[in-house]
């Protein structure tokens, strides 16, 4: 069954982008404060579509001309407010306004602030022009409303309607506008449409109506108050409709006296005021007519000279009432007066005299006046024009893949008499599409074919066009996805193709949560000059094929050799030659291929992960059994570290399983350790073959963490970086504004909703995978907590020397102090046993101990975690092998966590149970080694019992760039990371989020693997609490990454949709539902029955705030009728449905 998305016009708006105000010009901008500069362009067209018909030649296309006064903004009465996550964060105090392009455009310039979260700029204008509002300054706004939500602020901004008619010279119109969520960089350009806080009304007499001369207009029951900015209502996504509901202060009430307007004898061409037209003079606060008592509804009375020979009343003043009703077809529907709309009434016929006074016209129906919307219309109505509808069966056309060039269809239907047509949008490229029809007629469905002309070999291709019917413009988006790309590719032996025209994962990764992490670049497109191998773990592992010659390029150590890529496919081919290449005894290796500009500088690079045992040769995909289903946290996790060739130790070494190391926020890997213990004398770094720069630290010291830091890391992929100097080093996450978002989010441990983030352009994981959210590495367990309190008194007892008393249950007691002649403090004895003194008797007062059970949740977010991990090499001091049951912690026998550091073991790490909170079990097989500084012999355990749902987390080593690119420092000592060797004591796995630690410091989150401390008597042997401040992964370190599958869940518990809704059967009735999509976009995929309108039909991630969706009846339906809508949240595999029932 065909489904439709419907868009309907009820009242046509005032057309308010933003306008210039007067002839004044204010040049320049505020002082340079070092804060980000914003340039905000506001523009207002000079005319707008309006309700009513005009003389075709005089006012073509039914445009409602506007005056400068309607567009006027007082330069000293305009404010730009910065909201972060919908809370007021800053008000620009150095705002400058200019007029570079004439009266229709103005530019606001000033300084805003970098802030974590979603930034939105709001413009408020002409507040001090309004009666009822005290004088306001930018400082006042920030002082009074700092930290408050928009809706809370707007509820205070209430204007009083002027005592007399609204005069633009005394009261400029209140205006509001928003940029929506924007990305902040050092210089931010944004644009803003402004909306008036009032409605406009006009009256005109048709040229063919010759027996009536307009003289007076009365507007009754205008509300005496209105909001300068609507607290609850927002403009719709369709810019031709904008606001669709009223937003009226609770304190507002109808004026007791009507507004009176007198048509002057002389014409005023500026305002289009003549005996036939009265426009641009009547401004109204919002009024709710629908559902209001008719005696309280807004009414308009027009008065004029009626000419009719021989009829009483002819030649005199007669008055007629116009109701705010649509009575076409016998049905009657009240309509509201809504801000930023224009209501123009066209009097086409006056058949009879009216009443002698305006008040009598207000109270009486006189069927004498015909008001139409179009001078050519045959149907009569009062008020708004006839409804007409434009429907399409989709608003987005999506090609399934980058090479999907099949024809897509778009079904279009309208009942607008002139039909529909396709209108290009300025700046949108339609050249890659063939659209077979450009227009269609009314009242018939037209199927339009849309066909891509060629496959896409670059970033995601998106273009838009309008389908237009009358004043409705429905935007259609066509999307052709990019090829699947990443910064890392897992390959086996043989020939492969590398696309070199896309950075990372493309445009999807450039603005996580609306934060621009590629400032100044705009998109992820890449146009290199040449390609070359930067380094590889074995000479000849990677050979590039030159697209020009077709020959393979040979590399020479220490010298770059370049190859051309194919500009038609935007790719280069390369061959993997294993030829005995291996790491830690396992076949495979790693390499880095770079894209270069004409100055031989790296502009991007890609990690080639040669892991033959991971790849299915038939599908070229990772074997499914290489992906672990971590059911504890519902993530699919690769079974090894990024760059590793094994998922377990091999031949008493874990080098093959350790993988590569990454600085947080960077896409390029650093080679790791060539040893899995501290028994080495060189740097400990695994050897590689370099063709570009060798390993090292950029500039030999710290760099500035600013907008140049990321370009530096891209140009120098083999150099570690850090900022802040050696005394207080920092990493890339400290870059102002966007550093915390480089790998996805800075809200991974939000106190409201844990933000999963999204894969970014700098994510180092291969296609289909990403750096794990913090949520993937946080485990929790609810544990029982016994609490005792003192109960009833049991009695007093004297125990002589050597006597004892066993109460057989927990007790509280206190002992009599015979010297001080008083009772000592109460004590608790869980086993209920008391004894006499050694030399004398003791007197006790005994009480019952009353037990209560409470529960608390332990979590690896805050607590050191041991429940589902097992550290190896596993040695326990004073171990009794016969009493060990692996996987249990029998406190009566031994503590499996009390054991000293074992020196010179083959490797170090943890096994983790990812299905349950049970410790992995080890076999009874023992190895002999030494423990502690005493060099004592000890037996320790290594090997896990087969068949367990466990993963191997090796201690991998980590780099501290303040100490160089090495694992050994001065005096041949191993470099320490947080109090211990990073190869044998401490290392970590990064997550994608910055977090706030206990000491109130923002740092990248990591699963910190805290092994046995040397000389610590067994301290450690756990996953260290994620937010603890004493031991953690500092932001400038380089550590390991374990990638998770970038997949949708069936349904996330944090998302929701209203399951059922009811709506009144009458045409025009509305109700609302709510959708919460925390971390992903959403769209309506099944709009249900055609009699129901759904607005909006798509949205972005809301971080738990939710989005209100309005449902509207387009026609009357019988009670009991129902329909089902389906919504798709992008990171869920099942659609969510809501059933709507008519009552």
pLDDT per position as a tens digit, 201-260: 888 888 778 888 899 999 999 999 999 999 988 876 444 446 888 999 999 999 999 999
Q: What are the helix and strand counts (H, E) for the chain? A: 6, 76
Q: What is the pLDDT of residue 762?
A: 98
Of 3-12, 596-605, 973-982, highest mean pLDDT? 596-605
Q: What is the pLDDT of residue 343?
A: 82
Task: Provide mean pLDDT across the span 786-805.
Answer: 91
Alpha-carbon span 1057 to 907, nearest angstrom: 50
* Opening angle at CA 944, ends 939 and 946, nearest 5: 145
Alpha-carbon span 286 to 642, nearest angstrom: 60
Q: What is the pLDDT of residue 291?
A: 82
Q: What is the pLDDT of residue 1?
A: 31
Q: Which of 87, 90, 108 is nearest to 99 (CA)?
A: 108
Q: Which residue has the higher pLDDT, 784 or 602?
A: 602
pLDDT band of 55, cuts 50, 70, 90: very low
Cβ neighbours of residue 917 under 8 Å, at least 6 residues apart?
A: 632, 779, 781, 867, 868
Lowest mean pLDDT among 374-378, 510-514, 1039-1043: 374-378
What percentage of the chain carries pLDDT values higher than 70? Answer: 85
Alpha-carbon span 775 to 152, nearest angstrom: 33
Q: Which residue has the higher pLDDT, 592 or 784?
A: 592
Q: What is the mean pLDDT of the chain?
A: 84
Q: Which residue has the higher pLDDT, 769 or 343?
A: 769
pLDDT band of 1065, cuts 50, 70, 90: very high
Cβ neighbours of residue 348 under 8 Å, at least 6 residues apart?
A: 206, 208, 209, 370, 371, 372, 375
Per-residue CA distances from 453 to 407, 477, 484, 568, 1115 (Å): 10, 16, 20, 15, 41
Could you write out the DSSP letters of every residue in 83-123?
A: EETTEEEEE-SS-EEE-TT-TTEEEEEEE----SS-EEEEE
Alpha-carbon span 919 to 867, nearest angstrom: 6
Q: Which residue has the higher pLDDT, 15 or 409?
A: 409
Which tens digit of pLDDT belongs to each residue from 897-939? 667 888 889 999 999 999 999 989 888 788 877 776 556 777 7
For residue 19, pLDDT over 90 is answered with: no
For residue 43, pLDDT over 80 is answered with: no
Dihedrals phi, psi of 513, to nearest 5 degrees: 55, 30
Q: What is the pLDDT of residue 25?
A: 27
Task: Provide mean pLDDT across the span 316-323.
Answer: 85
Per-residue CA distances from 734 to 79, 114, 664, 737 (Å): 30, 12, 11, 9
For residue 2, pLDDT over 80 is answered with: no
Q: What is the pLDDT of residue 52?
A: 34
Could you write out the DSSP letters of every residue in 1071-1121?
A: EEEEEE-SSS-EEEEE---TTEEEE--EE---TTS-EEEEEEESS---TT-
Alpha-carbon span 1013 to 1018, nearest angstrom: 6
Question: Quick check: bond before 526 cis, omega within 30?
Answer: no
Q: What is the pLDDT of residue 46?
A: 40
Q: Which residue has the higher pLDDT, 881 or 542?
A: 542
**Topology annotation, domain 388-479:** Immunoglobulin-like (2.60.40)
Alpha-carbon span 147 to 117, nearest angstrom: 13
Task: Provide mean pLDDT across the span 17-30.
Answer: 30
What percentage of the chain carries pLDDT values higher than 90? Answer: 51
Which tens digit of pLDDT belongs to each residue from 480-490? 989 999 999 99
Lowest mean pLDDT among 582-591, 661-670, 734-743, 937-946: 937-946
Q: Are 595 and 665 in contact (CB under 8 A)?
A: no
Q: Which residue has the higher pLDDT, 839 or 643?
A: 643
pLDDT band of 13, cuts 50, 70, 90: very low
Q: What is the pLDDT of residue 1085?
A: 86
Strands (E), 112-231: 119-125, 158-160, 175-182, 187-196, 199-205, 212-220, 225-227
Q: What is the pLDDT of residue 352?
A: 74
CB atoms within 10 A of CB 518: 22
Q: What is the pLDDT of residue 894?
A: 42
Alpha-carbon span 305 to 317, nearest angstrom: 5
Alpha-carbon span 86 to 1105, nearest angstrom: 10
Task: Provide mean pLDDT across the span 767-784.
Answer: 89
In the chain, where the domains are located: 37-372, 388-479, 488-770, 785-855, 1056-1142
Q: Which residue has the higher pLDDT, 719 or 378?
A: 719
Q: What is the pLDDT of residue 1109?
A: 94
Task: Provide mean pLDDT across the span 862-871.
Answer: 91
Task: Provide mean pLDDT across the span 709-721.
Answer: 97
Q: Which residue has the higher pLDDT, 14 or 84?
A: 84
Q: Which two tokens stand for residue 960?
A: 């501290």
Q: What is the DSSP letter of 328?
A: G
Task: Provide mean pLDDT across the span 685-700.
Answer: 95
Q: What is the pLDDT of residue 695?
A: 97
Alpha-carbon span 159 to 196, nearest angstrom: 13
Q: What is the pLDDT of residue 10?
A: 29
Per-residue CA distances from 916 to 11, 710, 777, 913, 919 (Å): 60, 40, 14, 6, 9
Strands (E), 430-514: 433-435, 439-440, 446-452, 461-469, 472-480, 488-491, 494-499
Q: What is the pLDDT of residue 307?
A: 80
Cβ neighbours of residue 293 under 8 Å, at least 6 residues apart?
A: none
pLDDT band of 1127, cuts 50, 70, 90: very high
Task: Provide mean pLDDT across the span 502-510.
Answer: 92
Q: What is the pLDDT of residue 546?
A: 97
Which tens digit of pLDDT belongs to each residue from 164-177? 899 888 889 999 98
Q: What is the pLDDT of residue 369?
A: 62
Q: What is the pLDDT of residue 20?
A: 25
pLDDT band of 888, cuts 50, 70, 90: very low
Q: What is the pLDDT of residue 331?
A: 42
Task: Provide mean pLDDT across the span 140-148.
Answer: 88
Alpha-carbon span 516 to 119, nearest angstrom: 11
Task: Provide mean pLDDT across the span 847-852.
Answer: 93
Task: Provide mean pLDDT across the span 561-569.
Answer: 95
Q: Which CATH superfamily is domain 1056-1142 in?
A: Immunoglobulins (2.60.40.10)
């Amino acid at each position: 069954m065909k489904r439709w998305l419907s868009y309907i016009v009820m009242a046509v708006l005032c057309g308010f982008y933003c306008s210039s105000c007067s002839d004044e010009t204010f040049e320049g901008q505020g002082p340079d404060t070092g804060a980000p500069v914003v340039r905000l362009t506001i523009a207002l067209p000079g005319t707008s579509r309006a309700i009513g018909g005009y003389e075709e030649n005089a006012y073509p296309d039914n445009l409602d001309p506007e005056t400068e006064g309607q567009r006027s903004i007082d330069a000293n009465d305009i404010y730009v407010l910065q909201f972060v996550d919908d809370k007021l964060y800053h008000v620009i105090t150095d705002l400058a306004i200019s007029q570079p392009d004439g009266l229709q455009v103005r530019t606001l310039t000033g300084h805003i602030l970098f802030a974590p979260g979603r930034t939105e700029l709001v413009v408020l204008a002409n507040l001090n022009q309004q009666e009822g509002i005290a004088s306001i300054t930018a400082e006042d706004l920030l002082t009074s409303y700092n930290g408050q939500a928009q809706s809370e602020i707007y509820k205070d901004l209430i204007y009083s309607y002027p005592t007399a008619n609204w005069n633009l010279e005394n009261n400029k119109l209140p205006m509001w506008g928003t940029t929506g969520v924007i990305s902040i960089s050092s210089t931010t350009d944004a644009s803003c449409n402004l909306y008036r806080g009032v409605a406009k009304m006009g009256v005109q007499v048709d040229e063919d109506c010759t027996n009536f001369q307009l003289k007076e207009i009365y507007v009754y029951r205008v509300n005496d108050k209105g909001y300068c900015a609507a607290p609850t209502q927002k403009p719709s996504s369709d810019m031709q409709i904008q606001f669709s509901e009223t937003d009226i202060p609770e304190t507002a009430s109808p004026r007791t006296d009507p507004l009176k307007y007198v048509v002057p004898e002389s014409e005023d061409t500026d305002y289009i005021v003549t005996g036939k037209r009265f426009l641009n003079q009547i401004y109204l606060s919002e009024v709710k007519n629908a559902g209001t008592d008719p005696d309280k509804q807004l009414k308009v009375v027009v008065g004029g000279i009626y000419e009719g020979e021989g009829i009483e009343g002819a030649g005199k003043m007669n008055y007629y009432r116009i109701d705010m009703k649509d009575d076409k077809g016998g049905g009657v529907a009240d309509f509201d007066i809504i801000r930023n709309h224009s209501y123009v009434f066209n009097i086409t016929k006056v058949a009879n005299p009216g009443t002698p006074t305006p008040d009598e016209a207000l109270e009486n129906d006189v069927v004498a006046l015909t008001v139409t919307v179009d001078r050519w219309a045959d149907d009569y109505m009062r008020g708004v024009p006839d409804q007409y509808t434009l429907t399409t069966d989709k608003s987005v056309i999506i090609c399934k893949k980058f090479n999907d060039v099949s024809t897509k269809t778009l079904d279009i239907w309208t009942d607008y008499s002139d039909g529909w047509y396709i209108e290009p949008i300025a700046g949108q490229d339609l050249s890659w599409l063939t659209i077979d029809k450009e227009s269609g007629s009314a009242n018939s469905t037209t199927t339009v074919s849309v066909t891509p002309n060629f496959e896409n070999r670059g970033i995601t291709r998106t273009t838009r066009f309008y389908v237009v019917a009358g004043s409705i413009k429905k935007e259609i988006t066509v999307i052709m996805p990019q090829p699947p790309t990443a910064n890392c590719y897992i390959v086996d032996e043989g020939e492969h193709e590398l696309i070199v025209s896309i950075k990372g994962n493309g445009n999807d990764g450039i603005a996580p949560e609306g934060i621009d992490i590629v400032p100044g670049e705009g998109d992820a497109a890449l146009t290199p000059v040449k390609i070359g191998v930067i380094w590889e773990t074995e000479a000849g592992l990677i050979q590039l094929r030159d697209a020009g010659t077709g020959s393979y390029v040979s590399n020479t150590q220490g010298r770059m050799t370049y190859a051309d890529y194919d500009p038609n496919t935007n790719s280069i081919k390369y061959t993997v030659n294993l030829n005995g290449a291996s790491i830690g005894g396992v076949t495979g290796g790693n390499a880095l291929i770079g894209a270069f500009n004409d100055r031989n500088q790296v502009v991007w690079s890609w990690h080639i992960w040669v892991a033959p045992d991971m790849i299915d040769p038939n599908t070229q995909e990772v074997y499914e059994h290489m992906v672990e289903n971590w059911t504890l946290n519902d993530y699919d996790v690769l079974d090894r570290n990024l760059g590793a060739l094994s998922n377990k130790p091999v031949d008493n070494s874990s080098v093959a399983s350790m993988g590569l190391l990454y600085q947080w926020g960077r896409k390029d890997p650093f080679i790791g350790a060539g040893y899995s213990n501290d028994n080495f004398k060189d740097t400990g770094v695994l050897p590689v073959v370099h063709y570009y720069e060798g390993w090292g630290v950029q500039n030999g010291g710290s760099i500035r963490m600013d907008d140049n830091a990321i370009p530096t890391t891209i140009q120098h992929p083999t150099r570690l970086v850090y900022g802040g100097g050696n005394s207080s080093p920092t990493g890339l996450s400290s870059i102002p504004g966007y550093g915390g978002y480089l790998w996805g989010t800075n809200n991974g441990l939000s106190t409201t909703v844990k933000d999963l983030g999204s894969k970014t352009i700098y994510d180092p994981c291969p296609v289909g995978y990403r750096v794990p959210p913090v949520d993937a590495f946080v485990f929790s367990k609810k544990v029982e907590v016994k609490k005792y309190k003192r109960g009833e008194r049991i009695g007093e007892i004297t125990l002589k020397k050597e006597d004892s008393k066993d109460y057989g249950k927990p007790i509280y007691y206190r002992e009599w102090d015979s010297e001080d002649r008083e009772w000592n403090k109460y004590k608790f004895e869980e086993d209920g046993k008391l004894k006499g003194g050694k030399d004398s008797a003791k007197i006790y007062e005994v009480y019952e101990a009353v037990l209560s059970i409470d529960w608390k949740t332990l979590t690896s977010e805050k607590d050191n975690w041991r429940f589902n991990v097992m550290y190896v090499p596993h040695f326990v001091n004073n171990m009794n092998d016969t009493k060990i049951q692996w996987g249990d912690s029998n406190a009566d026998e031994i503590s499996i966590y009390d054991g000293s550091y074992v020196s010179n073991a083959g490797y170090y790490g943890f096994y983790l149970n990812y299905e349950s909170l049970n410790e992995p079990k080890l076999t009874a097989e023992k190895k002999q080694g030494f423990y502690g500084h005493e060099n004592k012999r000890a037996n320790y355990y290594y090997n896990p019992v087969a068949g367990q749902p466990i993963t191997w987390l090796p201690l991998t080593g980590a780099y501290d760039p303040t100490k160089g690119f090495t694992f050994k420092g001065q005096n041949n000592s191993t470099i320490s990371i947080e109090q211990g060797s990073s190869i044998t004591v401490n290392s970590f796995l990064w997550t994608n989020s910055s977090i706030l630690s206990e000491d109130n410091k923002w740092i990248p989150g990591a699963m910190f693997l805290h092994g046995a401390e040397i000389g610590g008597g067994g301290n450690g042997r756990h996953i260290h609490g994620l937010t603890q401040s004493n031991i953690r992964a500092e932001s400038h370190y380089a550590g390991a990454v374990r990638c998770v599958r970038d997949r949708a869940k069936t349904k996330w518990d944090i998302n929701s949709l209203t399951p059922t809704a009811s709506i009144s059967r009458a045409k025009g009735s509305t109700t609302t539902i709510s959708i919460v999509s925390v971390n992903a976009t959403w769209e309506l995929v099944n709009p249900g029955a055609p009699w129901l309108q759904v607005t909006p039909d798509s949205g972005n991630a809301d971080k738990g705030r939710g989005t209100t969706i309005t449902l509207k009846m387009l026609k009357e339906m019988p009670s009991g009728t129902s329909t089902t809508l389906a919504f798709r949240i992008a990171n869920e595999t099942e659609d969510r449905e809501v059933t709507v029932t008519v009552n």
